[in-house]
Amino acid sequence: MTTAETLPVTGTASIPPSPTVAHETRRRFGRWFRETGWRHLVGIAMLVFSAFPLVYVLSASLNPGGTLLTANSLFATVDIGSYIALFQDPLRPYGNWFVNSVFIGLTTSFFTVVLCALAAYAFSRMRFTGRRFGLLTLLLVQMFPQLLAVVAIFLLMSAIGDIFPALGLNSQIGLIMVYLGGALGVNTFLMYGFFNTVPASIDEAAKIDGAGHARIFFTIILRLVAPVLAVIGLLSFIGTMNDFLIASVVLVDPDKQTLAVGLYQFVSQETARNWSVFAAGAVLAAILPMALFLGLQRFIVGGLTAGSVK
């Protein structure tokens, strides 16, 4: 009879990874990098490229040096004196500029959404002579840059001001009318694509119940196309707030000017340039559009993609 002797195990020896396992790991990493990993690097690079100007402007607004060269060392000096000086200059009423920009931006956005929605509903649901020609015309007009119309806008506003001063030069209402005329084309076409995604059977069911076009539009369709309404309103507001060319031509009185035109006065004169105050005004002006963008973010992707399918 034989007995098997069991030897005690005193330790375990480390087994080095085989060359096959290391090669397989490198292959997996290389495959991941080719398929997905390089996108992360591109995303990080674009994030740094996009965020650096914003960080630099914020640093310049907190640096009381008055020039952009003194802000090379980011946040080396932190002082809110530029923000205080922004509201203490009697010749440059920043508060009035901000109120004017918000008023013009919100008014333009509201009427842009209403007018574009009405036009898009007509093009999407009704069949009439010149419908296709009208859509193509709206799209082709937007291909010409706005700079080409500056002289025509100035002459037109000057002539209208002789008859209706409230709609002529140096009039905020007149500037809003100019913005509305320029925003109807591409926004109507974008809304038209979104309206086509709403089934026409909904309209037919409402008509059977006795609803007319006005009731269908205001009580049913507008609720279903809320994402694209938010997108158009946001894009119109941001575009109006950022516009400098048209606003500088139409508005002359400093009390009626917008932020984009008014802030230029801080850096327009060679002997009185103050880039720190200009940067502070730009930072404050960016807060409201950024808040609206974050608040309507859930509508933006859906509104743009659904409107571009058709």
Task: Please name the helix (run of DSSP H) or strand (run of DSSP E) that holds residue 122, with its range, or none.
Answer: helix 94-125
pLDDT of residue 187: 85
| pLDDT 10s digits, 287-310 | 888 888 888 777 776 655 554 444
How sure is the predictor about 191, in pLDDT bands with cuts at 50, 70 and 90? Answer: confident
Q: What is the mean pLDDT of residues 103-131?
A: 90
Q: What type of residue sits at position 15?
A: I
Higher pLDDT, 177 or 254: 177
| pLDDT 10s digits, 24-50 | 666 677 777 777 878 888 889 999 998
pLDDT of residue 77: 77
pLDDT of residue 203: 83
Q: What type of residue sits at position 268?
A: S
Topology of domain 91-302, per CATH? MetI-like fold (1.10.3720)
pLDDT of residue 165: 84
Ramachandran bin of 170, using left for φ above 0, alpha for ψ from -120 to 50, beta for the remaining angles: left
Per the listing, tokens 């996108």 go with 39
Whether residue 234 has pLDDT greater than 80: yes
pLDDT of residue 166: 84
Measure the CA–CA gap between 53 and 50, rounded to whole angstroms. Answer: 7
pLDDT of residue 310: 43
pLDDT of residue 272: 63
pLDDT of residue 137: 84
All CATH 1.10.3720.10 domain ranges of the chain, comma separated, are: 91-302
Could you count the other beta carbons within 10 Å of the beta carbon of residue 10?
A: 5
Q: What angle do CA 45, 51, 55 make, to 5 degrees?
A: 140
How sure is the predictor about 169, in pLDDT bands with cuts at 50, 70 and 90? Answer: confident
Structure tokens at 176: 């809003």
pLDDT of residue 101: 93
pLDDT of residue 100: 93
Helix 172-195 × helix 150-163 angle, to 10° = 120
Question: What average pLDDT is seen over the chain?
Answer: 81
How sure is the predictor about 4, in pLDDT bands with cuts at 50, 70 and 90? Answer: very low
Q: What is the mean pLDDT of residues 139-167?
A: 84
Per the listing, tokens 């959404």 go with 113
pLDDT of residue 1: 45
Ramachandran bin of 66, using left for φ above 0, alpha for ψ from -120 to 50, beta for the remaining angles: left
**Contact by Cβ (8 Å): 234, 300:** yes
Alpha-carbon torsion 130, 132, 138, 143, what sign? negative
For residue 7, the SS3 value is coil
pLDDT of residue 106: 93
Per the listing, tokens 């290389």 go with 30
Query: Residue 148, exposed/middle/buried by CB under 10 A (0-12, 13-18, 19+)?
Result: exposed
How sure is the predictor about 113, in pLDDT bands with cuts at 50, 70 and 90? Answer: very high
Whether residue 164 has pLDDT greater than 70: yes
